[in-house]
Amino acid sequence: MIPVEGVENQTIAVLGLGRSGKATAAALKAGGARVIAWDDGVDTREAAAADGWEIVDLTRDAGWDGVSALITSPGIPHLYPKPHPVIEKAMRLGVPVDNDIGLFFRSFATDEWNEFDRIPRVIAVTGSNGKSTTTALIHHILEECGRPTQMGGNIGTGVLSLNPAEDGEVVVLELSSYQTDLARALTPDVAVFTNLSPDHLDRHSGLGGYFAAKRRLFAEGGPDRAVVGVDEIEGLYLADQLSMGPSDDRVIRISSETKLDGPGWSVFAKKGFLSEYRKGRQAASIDLREVKGLPGAHNHQNACAAYAACRAVGLAPREIEAAFHSFSGLPHRSQTVAEIGGVRYVNDSKATNVDAAAKALQAFDRIRWIAGGLGKEGGITALQPFLGRVTKAYLIGHSARDFALEIGQTPYEIAETMEQAVAHAAAEAEPGETVLLAPAAASFDQYPNFEKRGEHFVTLVEGLRPAEG
């Protein structure tokens, strides 16, 4: 746990008592604060009270006597579509509102660092797509290279539940727009912007507000190095705003679409090769085509972002390249589960929409495609340009028959269940083909979440292995 600095003998209110809220309350208490808490859920409040937390009704004015700050969980709206009543009350009373990310950045550095040989550093990753994979890949590379490291934020451990830093440690954080939008302190050493596509638009009142929330990671504290994906106009704009000139190597531009070989510092992937350029000269090249944990152009962009971030903290190209090859990918995101009889089995259960499924379909050739579930508005007709790689589709779940009408001339069967889809795909697959779970649909018709769907696929694939003996 990281005790919160600067709160001793203050009364701090915490709104939301989920995982991050409880961790925040504990870190505030460890920092010497009196913590009062509120949650809209009666059962949650009662459970927290049973655990010893002081529950105060923050919807009433009387609950605010002596409160110095309100710390809110990231999922609770503070501005759009409208602020939570407790947050609005805090703002009307002039009580500062913050979140656990802001508390982390103001509390991470301690006097103990004066005795360290190497100052700890923070790499923070944001963006629309790929930020979880990029965060996990950076953490994996650091581990493989023997650097002390922790991973947290929107992935893994809550930021205030991390351990105090060790000498030379690098903390890697995934930060969502919900987290960056409100945090009062945002001071990473290296900040990464992967890309931007429309998401959470109601929460940010449109694409401009969504981008503004991401941009705060770079604008509020000014990282020493900024790694910026420039394949969208927003990334181009951000890189330009941060740079003092064409050769300013504080900004590392990355791309999975365009060769970047100007006078600055850039990392890009073309035709499966990652290249690093500095001052107009190539500094390194890595063949990504044989990195099984990072298939497809979208993962090559993740590789560029992770490579650049690791170079920014002093790792060598060959160290990073070796670590790429031992990265197995995140569960349910283009995860290679097994190769059995020359057939590759890939779990991309996280591909719950058309955009994500399109990326998965572009990553492989000769695909036996398992798709379906609870279809989303608009269907999957937009996937037709990517179906030339599909040998056959095996359609499951509620929308199986709707999907069958939307995939043109692609051969298919209505498999109904995951068991039948995996069994039939495995029986018909030939060496060199890939059995790909990329549903392009939500899971809720047959599974509680995409993780359970992916786990079921993995279990079925493991059952295909020939018995030893």
127 labelled binding-site residue = yes
Report the half-sphere exposure of 315 (CA within 13 A, side-chain side).
Answer: 27
Q: H-type helices in 226-291, by residue range?
A: 233-242
For residues 411 and 428, give the distance between their C-alpha atoms in angstroms, rounded to a whole number: 13
157 labelled binding-site residue = no
For residues 67 and 65, give the distance between their C-alpha atoms in angstroms, rounded to a whole number: 6
Nearest Cα residue to 173 out of 183, 182, 162, 181: 162
> Residue 417: what are its φ and ψ, rounded to 5°?
-115, 160
For residues 380 and 180, give the distance between their C-alpha atoms in angstroms, rounded to a whole number: 32
Biggest CA pair distance of the chain: 72
Residue carrying structure tokens 């960056």: 180
Residue carrying structure tokens 């399109």: 358
Question: If you write DSSP's letter for every residue of 57-91 in order, what string do you get?
Answer: -TTSGGGGTTEEEEEE-TTS-SSSS---HHHHHHH
> Residue 378: what are its φ and ψ, rounded to 5°?
100, -15
129 labelled binding-site residue = yes
Cβ contact 14:37 at 8 Å = yes
For residues 369 and 391, give the distance between their C-alpha atoms in angstroms, rounded to a whole number: 8
CA 181 distance to own-chain centroid: 16
Core vs surface per residue 10-33: b (16+ CB within 10 A) or e: bbbbbbbbbebbbbbbbbbbebeb
153 labelled binding-site residue = no
Give the Å distances, CA to CA, from 272 to 188, 191, 300, 363, 401: 30, 25, 7, 11, 36
Residues with Cβ within 8 Å of residue 222, at least 6 apart in sequence: 187
Cβ contact 436:364 at 8 Å = yes
Element (H, E) at 307: helix 296-312
Annotated binding site: 127-133
Annotated binding site for ATP: 127-133
